[in-house]
Amino acid sequence: MELKSTEYFIMEHVPANLFRGIEAVGGRLYITNERVIFKPHSFNIQSKPLEISIQEIVNIEKRNTLLVVPNGMRISIKNGQEHKFVIWNRAKLIELIKDTKIKMNV
C-alpha cells in the first residue's frame, strides 16, 4: 500500500469485515492521517479495496451487528454512502478517526 507524501499511519492491520451487500468481506483496516483504508483478503469474492478520505466523513458511529452484537461501526460520507464494518474495540477506533478529523480541521 502506497502512502501519499503527506500521509502517515496512525493504526495498521486492524482485523475487520466490511459489509458489501450480503457478503461480510474480511480484511484489514488502516487508518492514516488522511484516509481510512480497507484492504480485503485476496480470497474474498469482492476483493476491491475501499478508501475513505477523512475529509469526506460526515458521521461515524457505533452500530450493532445482527441488531444485538455490539461490534459494528458505520461511516457515513458526504455523497450519502454508508460503510458498515465489524471490528473489535470499536469505541477506540471511532474516537481515533474522530480525533484525526478534528486535527485536520474539517
- pLDDT tens figures, 13-69: 999 999 998 888 999 999 999 999 999 998 887 889 999 999 999 999 999 988 888
Give 9-103's CATH code, choosing from 3.30.565.10, 3.40.50.620, 2.30.29.30, 3.40.1350.10.
2.30.29.30
Indicate the pTM of the whole model. Answer: 0.91
* DSSP 8-state class, residue 8: -
**Structure-block grid coordinates of residue 11:** 493504526
Residue 106 has pLDDT above 70, yes or no: no
Domain regions of the chain by residue span:
9-103
